[in-house]
Chain A
Amino acid sequence: MTLDYQIDGPENEELTKPSQGGPLGADMERRDGRDKVTGSACYAAEYRPKGLLHGVLKRAPGTGAVRLSNAEDVGTIPGVRLVLQDERMIRNAAQGTAGEAPVQGVSKAEYVGQPVALVVAENFETAWHAANRLQISCEGASLPVLPENGEVDDDMQEEAITGEPATAFSDAEVFVDETYTTPALTSAPMEPHAAVAEWHGDRLTLHGSLQMLRYNRLELADSLGIEPEKVRLRAPFVGGGFGSKLGISADCVAAALAARELGQPVRVVQHRRQVFEVNTRRSETRQRIRLAAGRDGRLTGLGHEARVSNLPGEEFSEPVLQGSYFAYAAPNRLLRSDLVRLNRPAAGSVRAPGEAVGVTVFEVAMDELAGKCGIDPVKLRLRNLPEAEPGSDRPFSSHRLADCLTKGRDSFGWDDRPAEPRQRREGEWWIGTGMAAAVRVNMVMPAEARVRLTPEGRAVVETDMTDIGTGTYSILGQIAAEGLGLAVDDVDVCLGDTDLPAGSGSGGSFGAASTGTAVWLACEEIRREIAGRMGCDAQELTLSDGHAACGNDRRSLPEVLAGEPLSGRGKLEPGEALEKVRQATWGAVFSEVAVNDVTGEVRVRRLQGTFAVGRVLNQRTARSQAQGGMTWGLGLALTEGMAHDRRDGHIVNRDLAEYHVPVNADVPHLDVHLLEDLDPWAGPLAAKGIGELGICGSGSAILNAIHHACGVRIRDLPATPDRILSGLT
């Protein structure tokens, strides 16, 4: 029995709603936390099937036609079993939800660092050494690697014009016209991408580190040229993904090919440097923002033009404009994005694709406008909130930005700030505050889940959904406990296995709401069956404390089940809601920073986020998600950026010593306020995305605070000491 549900409109009266004060929403520690910190959670590379061999991917040191000049010699190194060069190997990881093989082939390298061979040996050290010994020559004309040299791909252009923006710009009483740049960024998950491939006849089982198994299975099967039914993927634990594990990765395909050829299981773990190179990075961006306003700060026109890049053959374009479609009202609008083709490592989704860099930059421009108008930055934003989505006039499913702005402002103590920059000094340090709005589109993806109720009255949740460190095990357990009136400890959760019903996968902040709703629907299906057995309507049934009650009839679940298990399946489809309303999540971030007048160093003293993200499923994991996002925002503002070599485009700083993610010493106490926002268009759970929202405003709150502190406006990210210093006098 499957309960199908499509979100076509506001809440469905036939579906049960979660209760207040139940397991759902509670502040609960992660149920897998202990396994993780004690090391008993088994990650992909930790599977050790008998006869396991070890493979190492070899990178192209240049671009052009690839030749392996000493493969035979390397093959004779004791312990080496195979030097594999197979045209089915993939050039880079697949894009999220591709569902088919990405660009394949090893005879030609299209970016420096592309995997072009796999060396397999009896132990890792031998394979690594042999891969280092393998000589690769690349011959070909030099390829464009600098954005100014790349060719614009007309097919990838995005443009939306409303009204007459050109006139609005030329007639503006107050006008901001600035260009900003953001560097390429990496996902930097803690666990490197890894695969252990095992064949049983013509059936492949692959333990991988992947975010979206239902698509990854199709991508892997297509890459190998076999039927998806022959592929089983397992990923019960994933040590972070942040977009880099959305699509099938080079280690998986190479491990599967080698294992097939050798008739033994093969493990391939990406080296940290490969994690940077062979998956997908966030494109660098150049963004021109134009804001036309009256002296009262009311926007009459806005322009957001972006240039991003990607490798030839990739269909992904960093959706920089995504937040600009709906964040602010302005009758005249120009939104435009161009993509240039570059032979740098492939670009793809990195946490909060689009808004992470688009909203961040736009919110800096809004701060510039506030300064020019002499209006408080919070008031400026409140003055420009749209009634409906500009351009389309679709209503918002819920709009909580004003609430976030005012609640955040009040709890931060914003109104104490001097209006002008460079007013507060403590020794060498300039002190300032800044704020930004945060918006992020809310997405729902198809998802299925099964819930089984055992005759003893325990529940088992089953889906191929992944937990990439977000707390999925915990919240799905809470949802089923809520739906079936059980204690959370009476619910087991099985994830990360394509033998189970296909969940949404993790990505785009849609996992919890999409797969969570599928679990809720599966529970509803069970409720209906139980109600039938009790002879009442599902709406009249109460499930609590392991008992079912209808009126005066109250029975224990084992009694109702009478020795037979019960199973329900839930299936969620996005539906027409996507068309009928603009659905988003909302936030406001406030920050206080200190800027050193001697060195240009920045210390973030306070970072406060107020977020409206639908129903909060678990206070603790939700807060952690928000804090993680805010930390990303801090890194985006202050420390992170890939350096591409100007001659061949390769990533120069491709390890975690030289690519600077924030360390603990950079991150202050992160103050998170979650506003309950039961969006009626978000299905029976009213849950929405949370993971990415924190990134979308935090960086600009910090950049704006830097300006308020010391008067230096940073338009080229990140705000490293040298960039701030060049503005300090």
Chain B
Amino acid sequence: MRPFDYHRPETSNDALNLADEEAAFIGGGTNLLDLMKLEVMTPDQLVDINRLGLDQIDEVSGGIRIGATVRNSDLADDARIRRNWSVLSRALLAGASPQLRNRATTAGNLLQRTRCPYFQDIDAPCNKRVPGSGCAAIGGELRNHAVLGTSDHCIALHPSDMAVAMRALDAEVIVRDAGGGTRTTALVEFYRLPGDTPHIETTLTPGELITGVHLPVPAGDRQVYRKVRDRASYAFALVSTAAVLRMENGKIVSASLAFGGLGTMPWRNEEIEALLTGEAPSNALFDKAGEVLMKEAELREGLEFKKPLAQRVLKAVLTEATQ
């Protein structure tokens, strides 16, 4: 692997001051180190953020704040999360393996790279890895690829389970810059669609550091996460759905839905939510929701199954959440 410098600062300011344009922050390293070994990622510096004190989960007014380096296993196991944001806990436990969850961090999970095998193969052209080189996935063997939010330049899937649940929970990413300024960004603003710049995956700029994630009090008490995969554990989602719903008097008064295994970013479709809100649950309604979800899906060869699968899973999730 390419030689690099390693720093382990004690404060966020030091971390930001140390990081140059080619630096990468490292939390758990469960994805970054693999990609560095493959030389898919070649940072010249690693800035370790594990000593910045960002490993706390704090209740704050209007919600909960999760530090950037909180481990996935700790987050999944947190009593407050399990009580009020259970969809997040379930999504985390559906991902990876216990060993990986023990290392992987909240911020790292948000920033994990696609599993597209052509992205991970330095002998293959890839616009995400080498801008302008082309996309080997298009016309190649597809399974873990996106059908929503794709472009002619990239069809890479966002692989996270955690981020899908966070998307349904209206999470905001807390970002700090070198000047000490802080901004919060909704996940929808945080991720970018590939367009013709698939190598730019988020609105994070060099010199910025994720310090945590804020989750508001959930809009619904009925929370479901369901994931379908090729084996019973340790596989990425073929399709996953996170639902956060509230029912009153037999009607859906609030619905928030996010999807994995489909989009180039953790997917959410407000049209479905508007469709469901104010309605009584019914099979016809859920079928309609499925139609809306996959309306614009680009079902390339090998990915045709995602449409019926996503629709069936959505229907089952809505049925479970409204019972």
Contact = CB atoms under 8 A, between A and B. Distances in A.
A601 B228 contact: yes
A725 B140 contact: no
Closest 10 CB pairs of A and B: A722-B305, A665-B232, A61-B123, A665-B233, A643-B141, A599-B228, A598-B316, A666-B232, A652-B141, A132-B39
A37 interface: no
Interface stretch (B7-15, B45-53, B81-89, B306-314): B306-314
A652 B144 CA distance: 12
A594 B316 CA distance: 17
Contacts of B305: 721-722, 725-726
B309 A647 contact: no
Contacts of B123: 59, 61
Nearest to A136: B123
A165 B234 CA distance: 47
Contacts of B117: 652-654, 658
A190 interface: no
Given A129-B3, A722-B305, A726-B305, A652 B115 contact: no
A562 interface: no
A715 interface: no
B295 interface: no
B139 interface: yes
Given A59-B123, A653-B117, A665 B238 contact: no
Interface residues of B, number: 30
A639 interface: yes
A357 interface: no
Interface in B1-51: 1-3, 37, 39
A721 B231 contact: no
Given A720-B230, A722-B309, A647 B140 contact: yes
B231 A665 contact: yes
B1 A721 contact: no
Given A129-B39, A601-B228, A725 B309 contact: yes
19 contacts: A129-B1, A129-B39, A132-B39, A600-B309, A603-B232, A638-B231, A639-B230, A646-B139, A652-B140, A653-B117, A658-B115, A658-B117, A658-B144, A660-B231, A662-B231, A665-B232, A665-B234, A666-B231, A725-B312
Nearest to A61: B123
B122 interface: yes
Centre residue among A129, A601, A645, A652 by max chain B CB count within 10 A? A652
A141 interface: no
A662 B115 CA distance: 19
Nearest to A721: B228
B3 A639 contact: no
B235 interface: yes
Interface in B82-119: 115, 117-118
B233 to A, nearest CB: 4
B82 to A, nearest CB: 21
A171 interface: no
A646 B301 CA distance: 12
Contact of B1 (A125, A638, A645): A125
B313 A598 contact: yes
B233 A663 contact: yes
Interface of B: 1-3, 37, 39, 115, 117-118, 122-123, 139-141, 143-144, 228, 230-235, 238, 305, 308-309, 312-313, 315-316
Contacts of A128: 1, 37
A647 B139 contact: yes
B11 to A, nearest CB: 30
Q: Which of B115, B117, B308, B313 has the most CB of A within 10 A?
A: B117
Contacts of A664: 233
Contact of B309 (A644, A658, A721): A721
B143 A643 contact: yes
B131 to A, nearest CB: 19
B115 A721 contact: no
Contacts of A601: 228
A599 B231 contact: no
A654 B312 CA distance: 31
Contacts of B315: 598
A159 interface: no
Nearest to A601: B228
Given A129-B2, A658-B144, 8 more contacts: A599-B228, A599-B313, A639-B231, A647-B139, A647-B140, A654-B117, A657-B115, A663-B232
Given A598-B316, A658-B115, A645 B141 contact: yes
Interface in A625-639: 638-639
A663 B3 CA distance: 35
Contacts of B228: 599, 601, 721
Contacts of A666: 231-233
A592 B140 CA distance: 36
Contacts of B140: 645-647, 652
Nearest to B140: A645
A665 B139 CA distance: 33
A721 B230 contact: yes
A653 B139 CA distance: 16
B103 to A, nearest CB: 15
A428 interface: yes
Contacts of B1: 125, 128-129
Residue with the greatest number of chain B CB neighbours at <10 A, chosen from A644, A654, A663: A663
A644 B141 contact: yes
A609 to B, nearest CB: 21
Contacts of B122: 132
Interface string A648-661: 00001110011010
Contacts of A59: 123
Nearest to A62: B123
Given A129-B39, A599-B313, A644-B141, A663 B231 contact: yes
Contacts of B115: 657-658
B143 to A, nearest CB: 7
Q: Which of B122, B230, B305 has the most CB of A within 10 A?
A: B230
Interface string A500-514: 000000000000000
A59 B124 CA distance: 13
A574 to B, nearest CB: 40
B85 to A, nearest CB: 25
A358 to B, nearest CB: 25
Contacts of B308: 725-726
Contacts of A657: 115, 234
B192 to A, nearest CB: 25
Nearest to A654: B117
B290 to A, nearest CB: 12
A129 B36 CA distance: 10
Nearest to B306: A722
Contacts of B139: 646-647
A445 to B, nearest CB: 35
A125 B230 CA distance: 34
Contacts of B3: 125, 129
B211 to A, nearest CB: 29
A603 B228 CA distance: 12
Interface string A128-144: 11001000000000000
A599 to B, nearest CB: 5
B141 A663 contact: no
B238 to A, nearest CB: 6
Nearest to A658: B117
Nearest to B315: A598
